[in-house]
Each structure stands twice: as C-alpha cells, then as structure tokens.
Structure 1
C-alpha cells in the first residue's frame, strides 16, 4: 500500500511539473532572422518569421543571410505559406530563392505560397525602375525565370503573387489583404525614395505586429494610420537625428526623434528597432534618448535570432 501511494505521489508530482514546464504558445511571436541593412556588417539583411500559435506561418522580407539564420533557428517550415515583401531592394529580397527552395524540401506535399508586395514603378530621369512584385517573381520563378526548375524540384511549388498599390495615388486607408481563421493581414502604401514600398500589419487573437519597412517622411502618415494601438511596432532605424547622417539618407529613412513621435502617436505598446546600421549600433544610448523624448514604452534593439512576443 505504501509503495502504491508513493507511486501515485510521484506520478502526480511528475505530471504537475510537466504541466508547469510545458510552454504555452503565444498567438503571435516574432523571430528576427535579420536585423541589419545593406552593408556586410555581421548582421543578416532584413527578414522576420511570424509564428502563429507556435507555428511559422509568415515570412516578412528575406534579406541576405536570413537563409542561414532560418536554419540556425531549427524551425519546421511545412506550414509557412505567406510571404510579405515591404519593397524589392536586394537587402530585403536577396534570399527569396533560398527560402523557397528550403520550403520546397521541408514537406511531402505541394507547396502553395501567397506572396504580397508593391506595384512597380518606371523611373524617369535619375529614378530607378522597379518591376511589380508579380513580375519580379515571374523573372525569378516563372517558366522563363532564373529558377524556373524550382516549380517541381522536390514538390510542386506554386507562388501566387499579389501586387499592392504603392503609388502616390494609393488609398490612405489600410486594406485587408488576407483574412482566414482569425488571422488578418492589412497593408497600406509606404514610401522609400523611388522604391515602391508597403507597410504591413498582422492581427491575430487580439495581438498585432506592424512592420514599417524602410520608410521616409512621406510615408509617416500612413504608418500612423495602420499602426494604431499595435502591440509591437517594428521600425527600421538607420539614421541619426539630423545632421548626424548623410543628407541623402533622410530621403529614404526616418530619424529617431520622428520614430519616437510616431510610436507615441500610434499608441504602440512596444517598439522594436531593426534594420540597424553600424552608426546606430555605435550610438544606441543617444538613439534611445531621442526616442524617449516622446515615446515612453519598451524599446528593444533587434539582434539576429531574437524571439519576442507582442
């Protein structure tokens, strides 16, 4: 009888300890694959995985180096089926071929990916020309694309690309681009010099993450609109307050003081600074102090491999 009672007690203790130790998946979780910018500075280029109920579902950008970081994270990829591109600069899209190949070999069945990105822009004068996202994907993976072999390399791969209006005349109201099973993704035009750009917000079970992408002053009002009361605002932070960085960079990026104003105005619960330049790394204390002049919530400087919840 004593032995039986002891076994019952031990079983109860083990079961209780197991239940306490078992992690409960947050509705949304963010994995930073790449926290750097275009330079070879030791950080991977911009890229994130959003986990939904603990499962990797959404890739946001895919900069150089994110393929390696994805492998280091040892995440299962069989459920990854949504890709969001903020714009088509190399430091945000350079690893797409590697990502899609990794996804193709991650499971046994067909791969169907919904991909979203900005419309194109035909430059005039000194402006660069950018293809639409659908044309960009066709150039890479279409029948005559550089990686056309991928469509049936390990499994049938279908990439459904949708172009989001990123023009100067685009709607100033966020548009829902995906809605299924309580997961909602909305988008609005951003602004990044002559590169068409998109701002994204992901909502699920009362949690939300908003991605500014690379953004300059002309895109700030739209960011405020879509980021209202977001739990986590991922803001690309490249330049110091003027005149601390080269003047041309302010036509492409947002300085810390303005980041603080936008984060406060939108009511963001937490601010993650990413796409960090060496200048920001060297002056983190000054950057944070400038943001704190307006924003009082938690501020986190991103690192490759960092995981955090909204």
Structure 2
C-alpha cells in the first residue's frame, strides 16, 4: 500500500483550477449549475432520474411552428417534485416525444392551451383517445384554455368539435375498458380576465393573460409552486402584460421569430412579404424578446417556437443580447431539459430514442388494488354479424401445435378488481412508479414537518 500524500498536497492538487469562490470562471452566471439528483450533467436519459422533492423539471417536447422530424409542434412539459405533470400546449407530433421520454399517456391529464392554432393543440385527439385506452380509466382528461370573442371560437367549442370528429373512434374503443377515459373536463376561462387564476390545487397556481396574436383568444400562462415559477407566453406580439405578469419568474419562456425574412424566404420557401407580415401581426422579434427579458428579469430566459437552424441561431442570440445580458438558452430543438430548484438551474439535451418502448400506464394504489372497468359495449353491439362471419378460422393459419387461447369476449361480467399483492411483481412495479414517487414526496413533507 502506497504512502498517502500530505493534506497540503492533496488540497493543492484537487482544488487546482477550481474557483471555490476565489475567482469567477469564464462567463458563466451565478446559479447556473448542475442540480442535485441528476444522473448526468451533459444529457438527460428518460427514466433515469426522479424529479427531486423541491425541484421543477421542464422538458421541451415540441419546439417549432412548422413540424419536421427534429422539431415537432410546440409543447412544454412542466414536472413538479410532488409528482404532478402539466402540459402547456400540445402541438402536432409532440405526443411522440412524450412517449420517447418515457411518459405513460394516462399520466398526461392536464393540458393548458395558449390558443387554438392547430400547431398548439394538434396532438390532443391522440392523447384523448389513446390515453383513455391506455389506462386513464379513473380520471377525466382536463383541458384548460381561453374563451373566444364569440363562443364558437373558444376552447369548449374546439373540444366539442374534436369529440364529434372522433365519434367513430370513441364508439369503436368502447369495447375496451374505458371508465372515465372518454370524459373531458373543459375549463374555459375568459380571455379578457388578465391575471385570472386558471388552476389552484395542491399548492400549484396557474394564472393567464391576453396575448396579441392577430385574433382575440390567445393567452400566456404562469405556473407557481413551492417558491418556483415558470412562464410560457405562447405566441404573440411583445406586450406590457407579459412584463407585468411574468415579472421575476425563475424561467421565462417566450416565442421568437428572428427577422431574417429575405434569407428565410430562400431557406423555407416563404415569400418575404408573408414572413414580414406574419412577424409584425403575430410574433415577438428577437430584439423584443431580449427587451422583455430585461424587464422581466428571470433567473433564466429561453426562447422556443422557432426554426433551430445554424443560419438563424447566432443572429437570434445577437438580437436577444442587445437588451438581455443574463442567462439565456434556446428552448430547442426537441428534448431540451431544464432542472430548476431554489439555488440552481441546469439545461441539458435529452436523448430521446427513435423507437422507444411505451411506459406502462400508471395507477394509484392507495386502495391496494387495481380496478379495470368493464367495457361499455361489445363487438356484438356495434358490429353486424356478417363481417365477423367472414373472419378466417384461426385453425387455418396457426401452425400445428400452436393455438393461443383467444380472448374474444371480456372475461368478467363486471369490473375486474385485482389486489395489488396478487398482481405479477413486474406488472405492479411498472404500473406503480408514479404512485411510489408521490408516496416518497408525502414522506418528504412529513419529514420536513417533523424536523420543524
């Protein structure tokens, strides 16, 4: 065994080059540091980390107005240390990133829509139907969004139209366990009620305000929990209301469109006048985004809902830096992950697989059992017998010695009730992860109370 180096030698070696409060290293900002509990400071890998009890995690699941393979339409997930998930906008294609990021569809039950452009809610029909099929049996899908100037342009009217559009799908899926999976709770708020409370449960508060986005009914949101806050403005022109309601947020996220309309015309195929007109009537220019950040003074400023391309990124930073000198990061491309606690903020790239396995549905086991509701209907009720009579006899296509036991009718007359201790261990472990996380959070609160 070698002789130990002296304490002075060890200290000199291990602290060499490390600031330890002795100097400022580079241009990094105070409070921009990896947070406790992360498995890797460089990347986030799905299902490898729990959100810490006093932490918020933000994941950009869709980041562009024009959908393309590397950027789905806009969607931002906010996860809280208490185990709750909040979706802000749910644009077309974004649901694929939620699945790749390891979320069960029945975990995603609170969706806040900023406005009714389809690139901000296009994944909602999929979540509604397949989330109900995949285990959202005991709770409704909750949708929050603004009213319109006229009732037919509000969130409630959109959801009603979506349900009518999905009539065949919904009835066809009624042969499965559904429970409350086909129910939607629509929380439509008055778009003019600036600062109004949209959500106030379990210590989580969400407010809204108007955004100028060519048509009445566009809104921004601010979520506050446990002394932490995040703002997503949604789309719109720079506004004094943003400055007012976003003030002091820990993470301030706005959309931006960098003013390179002539160059973008050649790259994106959009006529220059159309790009110019779109920005000036609907969006926040890069200079304005930085200006608003300088007024809001967040701990971290982020921009999203933009093309993430080399030709535009450096220009975007230059325009934002004209006014904003504090911490800034792109909320793009898809998969950017932000961990936030009271002291530190850290941004990483999420590594989302192209062909992920879906996470098992997550259930509440407070009652010590899993209840699978009885299907509302059956094939016999919604399908004429003729087409079933044309089905080929399985004996014709299964090989000799192989014939699975077919499940052509639901096996029980009422709800299927399975005690947790009678579930296969692997099944229980997979379906109880979120419940276990919530129990750990409740224990954390109890431990804090005991220490006081």
Classify the TM-score, shorter chain: 0.7 to 0.9
Q: How far 1:29 moved relative to its partner?
A: 1.0
Deviations 1:91-142 (A, max 9, x none): 11111011223422343632223211121245xxxxxx96210111011125
Deviations 1:282-306 (A, max 9, x none): 2211211211121122111122112
Residue number among 183, 190, 195 corresponding to 1:165 in the alignment: 190
Does residue 51 of structure 1 match 2:86?
A: no
TM-score (norm 1): 0.80
* 1:12 corresponding residue in structure 2: none
Deviations 1:167-207 (A, max 9, x none): xxx24x41111111111111111121125201001111111
* 2:285 corresponding residue in structure 1: 255
* 2:259 corresponding residue in structure 1: 240
Label 1:201 to 1:151 Cα distance change in 2 as closer, same or farther (>3 A).
Answer: farther
* 1:119 corresponding residue in structure 2: 147
* 1:38 corresponding residue in structure 2: 66
Query: Which moved further from structure 2: 260-269 or 71-80?
Result: 71-80
Does residue 269 of structure 1 match 2:299?
A: yes
Could you tell me which runs of 5 or more consecutive residues in structure 2 were left unpaired when the two chains were aligned. Answer: 1-36, 40-48, 264-271, 341-452
CA distance in 2 between partners of 1:51 and 1:79 (Å) = 11
RMSD: 2.8
CA distance in 1 between partners of 2:334 and 2:94 (Å) = 9
Task: Kindly tell me the number of residue pairs found equivalent between the two proteins.
Answer: 279
Q: How far 1:53 moved relative to its partner?
A: 1.3
TM-score (norm 2): 0.56
CA distance in 2 between partners of 1:190 and 1:24 (Å) = 31
Label 1:54 to 1:61 Cα distance change in 2 as closer, same or farther (>3 A).
Answer: same
* 1:136 corresponding residue in structure 2: 158
Residue number among 108, 111, 118 corresponding to 1:90 in the alignment: 118
Does residue 290 of structure 1 match 2:319?
A: yes
Q: How far 1:58 moved relative to its partner?
A: 1.1
Could you tell me which runs of 5 or more consecutive residues in structure 1 were left unpaired when the two chains were aligned. Answer: 1-18, 123-128
CA distance in 1 between partners of 2:170 and 2:82 (Å) = 32
Asked which structure has the greater CA Rg, the reply is 2
Structure number with greater CO (CA < 8 Å, separation at least 6) is 2
Give the structure with the higher percent strand: 1
